[in-house]
Amino acid sequence: MGVFKMPSLGADMEEGKLVEWLVGPGDTVKRGDVVAVVETQKGAIEIEIFEDGVVDRIDAALGTTLPVGAPLAVIRGEGEAAAPAAAREPEPVPTAQPAKPVPAPPPVAAVAGDIPASPAARARAAELGVDLSGVTGSGPGGAVVLADVDAAGKGKRKPAKQGLDLDAMREAIAAAMTRSKHEIPHYYLEHEIDLQKADDWLRARNADCDPGDRILMGTLFVKAAALAARDVKGMNGQYEDGFAPSKTVNAGVAVALRGGGLIAPAIMDAASQPLDQLMASMRDLVARARSGRLRGSEMTQGTITISSLGENGVDGMTAVIYPPQVAIVAFGTPRVAPRVVDGAVMARLCVHVTLAADHRVSDGRRGAKFLKQIDTLLQSPEEL
């Protein structure tokens, strides 16, 4: 028997609220399956399971706020017998109310109160005006879950609300950054990169493309940084009980949320994705981050973070490492600046890049090699 516990979804998370079960007792699960939704200060996060087996029992009721590490369910491995009925704790009904009273979801017209549905499903039904009595539930015991309401209300969706406590998010971010500055011996390096070749190539590449197929400069930044992190030791991995280098580059991309706040979910194996696929991955990640539908792995498996200030930012930024990662690279806003090229002063598009890295794992010489590698890669954008 294995115990599925409330995961830590970042250095700034201490607890989470269980808002939806997507599986029930007797369901077969595989590694990577999304089995629950947990609400944190950064939104609703889809929680994946990391073992194969059968859900033996559910130990956490919906609406309950639990600390990291608290048991959520018991997973029975292949070939293991179910626990004897007498030895098992009573299984809570997945739609049961939490121990502490919570406000009921907004009423939905023509919805019978005894229809089994998760709180998240009821709230979404109220938002979309969906009558739950006409929705077939796919959850445990036929309960209506969020996906059922979304399917029934297709075409009725209103613009998503952020639904975040931004003050709480800022407090959590501040706590994580305080921990980072206290525990991680940062060092910083800066470099200016000539982007003219990259800009010229992008303009030519995008000239005949539909807007949805265009590649943005930020995609080149992520790809170049991911490739450099893969090639230069000490930039890609996590530090907990010592440094654990990663075989893949899971690039955390800093996303500014509407109304304030910041989140940095990871694109898995970013170094191996072609530019058009990476652009699609970034669009998808940003959209889900802003609607509060990220996966737990995207919040915990990042190995380096890339932050780009975009077209309307400032020249540069000195970033703070997001633990347990060991490096973060920040790209300022590209600006036209005078540069000497082949002995002549020319106007060139340039960007100011700053690296913050962990001195326990690398040093200034290694960090300089990393920044120089990014520069070299951006001089040949067609090869990214």
What Å distances lie between residue 243 and 1, 187, 234, 346, CA to CA? 31, 17, 8, 44
Count the residues in the chain. 384
Question: Between 122 and 236, where is the model more confident?
Answer: 236
- With H, G, I as helix, E, B as strand and everything else as coil, classify residue 373: helix
Whether residue 263 lies inside any domain: the answer is yes
Whether residue 151 lies inside any domain: the answer is no
Residue that finishes a domain, picked among 87, 106, 126:
87
- Are 236 and 342 in a shared domain? yes
- Segment 53-111, tens digit of pLDDT: 999 999 998 888 999 999 999 999 877 777 554 344 444 444 444 444 444 433 333 33
- Are 76 and 173 in a shared domain? no
- Are 204 and 79 in a shared domain? no
- Are 173 and 41 in a shared domain? no
Q: What is the CATH number of the domain that holds 236?
A: 3.30.559.10
For the four alpha carbons of 204, 205, 211 and 217, in that order, the dihedral sign comes to negative
Contacts of 352 (CB under 8 A, 6+ apart): 190, 191, 192, 315, 316, 331, 332
- Are 219 and 368 in a shared domain? yes
- Are 63 and 174 in a shared domain? no
- Are 226 and 368 in a shared domain? yes
Amino acid present at 66 = L
Query: Do 198 and 216 form a contact (C-beta atoms < 8 A)?
Result: no
**In angstroms, rounded to a whole number, what is the distance separating the alpha carbons of residues 51 and 31?**
5
**In angstroms, rounded to a whole number, what is the distance separating the alpha carbons of residues 95 and 113?**
12
Whether residue 130 lies inside any domain: the answer is no
Query: Do 354 and 316 form a contact (C-beta atoms < 8 A)?
Result: yes
Whether residue 80 lies inside any domain: the answer is yes
**pLDDT at 99 (0 to 100):** 43
- Are 68 and 185 in a shared domain? no
pTM listed for this prediction: 0.73
In this model, does residue 128 exceed pLDDT 90? no
Q: What is the CATH number of the domain that holds 78?
A: 2.40.50.100
- Segment 209-246, tens digit of pLDDT: 998 899 999 999 999 999 999 999 999 999 999 999 99
- Are 300 and 208 in a shared domain? yes
- Are 208 and 342 in a shared domain? yes
Whether residue 255 lies inside any domain: the answer is yes
- Segment 252-299, tens digit of pLDDT: 999 988 767 788 999 999 999 999 999 999 999 999 888 878 899 999
Structure tokens at 46: 């889809």
Q: 């020319």: which residue's tokens?
A: 346
- Are 193 and 330 in a shared domain? yes
- Segment 10-58, tens digit of pLDDT: 766 788 899 989 998 989 999 889 999 998 877 788 899 988 999 999 9
Q: How many domains is the chain partitioned into structurally?
A: 2
**pLDDT at 85 (0 to 100):** 46
Residue that finishes a domain, picked among 58, 87, 116:
87
What Å distances lie between residue 287 and 162, 182, 301, 342, CA to CA? 12, 33, 19, 43
The separation between CA 172 and the C-alpha centre of its own chain, rounded to angstroms, equals 16
Residue that finishes a domain, picked among 70, 87, 104:
87
Whether residue 42 lies inside any domain: the answer is yes
Report residue 165's pLDDT band, with 50, 70 and 90 as the boundaries. Answer: low
**In angstroms, rounded to a whole number, what is the distance separating the alpha carbons of residues 268 and 277?**
12
Whether residue 159 lies inside any domain: the answer is no
Structure tokens at 346: 């020319």
Full domain range(s) for residue 325: 167-383
Whether residue 95 lies inside any domain: the answer is no
